[in-house]
Amino acid sequence: MPTESRIFAYNRHNRRKIFRNFAVRSVQSGIYHHAFSGHRKINWNNMYTSEKTLYVAHGPNGPINIMGRMANRHGLIAGATGTGKTVSLQVLAETFSQAGVPCFMADMKGDLSGISQTGAMSGFIEKRCAEFGISDPQFHGCPVTFYDVFGEKGHPMRTTISDMGPELLARLLSLNETQTGILNILFRVADDRGLLLLDMKDLRAMLTYIAEHASELTKTYGTVSSQSVGAIQRALLALENQGGNYFFGEPEFNILDLIRTTPDGHGIMSVLAADRLMLNPKLYSSFLLWLLSDLYSSLPEVGDQELPRLVFFFDEAHTLFTDTPRSLVEKIEQVVRLIRSKGVGVYFVTQSPTDIPDPVLAQLGNRIQHALRAFTPKELEKVRAAAKTFRANPDFKTEDAIMQLGTGEALVSFLDDKGTPTVVERAKILFPLSQIGAITDQQREQLIKSSAIYGRYDNMIDRESAFEVLLAESEAQQKATEQAKADAEQAKADAKAAKEQEKAEKKSSKKKSIWSKVFGAVITTVTAALGTQVANSISGKKTKSTESVTKSVTKKAINSATRTATREITRSILGNMIK
């Protein structure tokens, strides 16, 4: 059976009537107030009414409800610390859960974990029952799945660097415009090269890569300065020191795990442990903004339905807009404006409506305003500004009422069936049927291990991505460089050896040439002398004795050899000097 069918089947057959002997009358606002007659007692078991409205507050005229099909028009819970915002959130969440609507909420102090346990009667609740005409409240907890970015108090919630994108990442790292431009270049280079950016080490590897290839990348993508890259690397180091490395990686969180119901049709509450996360407000707000953006991009259009598909409570909402670039604020405004068509209602929780930019505030139709304290002119200005966000009630002055509200009291204004804000009314918020306050570590651990998604996200996966690819390329390039260097050194050594060999051979050749010439000169001299002696003998000329001839030839040969050797040696020396 489809989820919606299960929801309404459950409510038709198992819901007790909330009101007895009442007449429904429409007031100016169009909210369904119930005026009681007779005994004024309600046999109360469910805050989701037969008219498909959500009973969350009680005014002078009876119950005040949010219309189910207007619940995706977003809302605001505001008020000073200690005035009851957390309890109001808990009441809204468990009401949506009873109606079959899953909710996501951040638990700042651990208090909201009590929504998983059955509540109990107390003096405060007993008093409220008498005021509201409620008898026999049936306390019960809600189905809950706990999450924690750090994986300590719930299932880990991770995303990848690529999925977060350069704009949100730049906000998270507090980058200026130039550094954001470098980050955009980095993402573009990774896309063009088909490199996956999954975790922090992938981002570091890409920063190193674009720094080393800055000159060639500048021609295509724009200037890549080493100073900007260095600034981003320092910001990454700071984020890692704050635990940001837990947030990035795989398995990536599947946003559809937030939209689950139990077999009997109750919406499952997704509670994020945010006490540690809030130590870094930008990480907290960027994480929640990523969730919203992912919901917007992943869910199909469904238009207005009887009930939202999901309600998203954004606690400490002011962190979302603090030090946020105007371009990103505009995208937040766009997401909030359009995400209701995906069946998602966003409820901001903060101290004052002035924490929210006017274009976003204008889209928050269902409002609960708890007390604001004002002791200075500046604080009075905030009270007046908060009062101006409501449609005035002629019965009281809104500005004064805001400062007079007690704990658990609030000014409320919800949308009517035409989408028009109702006249503001002073009311008391219902008490939760679940436990008020934190649960024990043992209870939390039991709920985590019994969860349907237990083990799905608990173990991190590290598959091949930009870091591994670039590391392999770097190692291959280093090996190639080392091999080229070795080859060059070997070639140089071979060339030197060849040159030495050639020099040796040339020197040897020169020595041989000198003695050849000396020997040739001797032979020539001897031959010439002997030829002269023979010629004289034939012609009858007087010749010297044989001994005399021998001495003469020898002398001439020695003189010729000496002259030739001296000449050749002198030439060799002069030749070397010239070289």
pLDDT digits (tens, 9 = 90+) for 306-315: 999 999 999 9
Give every CB contact of residue 167 below 8 A, 6+ residues apart in sequence.
180, 327, 328, 331
Ramachandran region, residue 111 (left: φ > 0; alpha: ψ -120 to 50; beta: rest): alpha
What's the pTM value of the predicted model, to 2 decimals?
A: 0.77
Could you tell me where the beta strands, DSSP code E, fall in 110-237? 134-135, 144-147
Give every CB contact of residue 160 below 8 A, 6+ residues apart in sequence.
196, 197, 198, 199, 248, 249, 250, 252
Report the pLDDT averaged over residues 42-59.
Answer: 73
Of residues 456 and 40, the one with the higher pLDDT is: 456
Contact assessment for residue 29 and residue 413, using Cβ atoms and an 8 Å cutoff = yes
Report the pLDDT averaged over residues 18-32.
Answer: 28
pLDDT digits (tens, 9 = 90+) for 338-351: 999 999 999 999 99
Q: Looking at 50-59, 89-98, 248-257, which range is the least confident one?
A: 50-59
% of the chain at pLDDT higher than 90: 57
Q: What is the DSSP letter of 541?
A: -
Reply yes or no on whether the pLDDT at 6 is more than 60.
no
Contact assessment for residue 290 and residue 253, using Cβ atoms and an 8 Å cutoff = no
Reduce the DSSP state of residue 67 to 3 states and report it: strand
Give all strands of the β-sheet with 103-107 in edge-to-edge order. 62-67, 53-59, 425-429, 409-413, 366-369, 75-78, 344-350, 310-315, 103-107, 269-273, 144-147
pLDDT at 241: 87
Contact assessment for residue 339 and residue 292, using Cβ atoms and an 8 Å cutoff = yes
Measured from the Cβ of residue 137, the count of other Cβ atoms closer than 10 Å reads 20
Q: Looking at 111-120, 179-188, 489-498, which range is the least confident one?
A: 489-498
Q: Please name the residue that has the structure tokens 């030495």.
A: 500
Report the pLDDT averaged over residues 31-51.
Answer: 44
Q: Looking at 227-241, 261-275, 384-398, 522-536, which range is the least confident one?
A: 522-536
pLDDT at 328: 82
Please list the helix, strand and coil fractions of the chain in percent, rounded to the nearest 5, in that order. 55, 15, 35
Reply yes or no on whether the pLDDT at 42 is more than 70.
no
Closest CA to 242 of 185, 280, 213: 280
pLDDT digits (tens, 9 = 90+) for 192-210: 999 999 999 999 999 999 9
pLDDT digits (tens, 9 = 90+) for 390-400: 999 999 999 99
Dist CA 114 CA 308 (whole Å)? 24
pLDDT at 509: 66
Closest CA to 187 of 209, 171, 172: 209
pLDDT at 484: 86
The number of angstroms, rounded, from the C-alpha of 165 to the middle of its chain's C-alpha atoms is 7
Measured from the Cβ of residue 357, the count of other Cβ atoms closer than 10 Å reads 16
Q: Please name the residue that has the structure tokens 């949506």.
A: 96
Report the pLDDT averaged over residues 153-157.
Answer: 95
Q: Residue 487: exposed, middle, or buried by beta-carbon count in 10 A (0-12, 13-18, 19+)?
A: exposed
Closest CA to 174 of 93, 261, 280, 75: 280
Give every CB contact of residue 295 below 8 A, 6+ residues apart in sequence.
255, 258, 310, 312, 339, 342, 344
pLDDT at 489: 85
The number of angstroms, rounded, from the C-alpha of 254 to the middle of its chain's C-alpha atoms is 15
Report the pLDDT averaged over residues 465-474.
Answer: 93
- Which of 154-157's residues contact partners 24+ apart within 8 Å by CB, and which partners? 154/271, 154/272, 154/273, 154/444, 154/448, 155/448, 155/451, 155/453, 155/454, 155/456, 155/457, 155/458, 156/246, 156/253, 156/457, 156/458, 156/460, 157/247, 157/253, 157/272, 157/287, 157/457
The number of angstroms, rounded, from the C-alpha of 357 to the middle of its chain's C-alpha atoms is 24
Report the pLDDT averaged over residues 550-567.
Answer: 67
Dist CA 102 CA 431 (whole Å)? 20
Token pair, residue 87, equals 């309890």
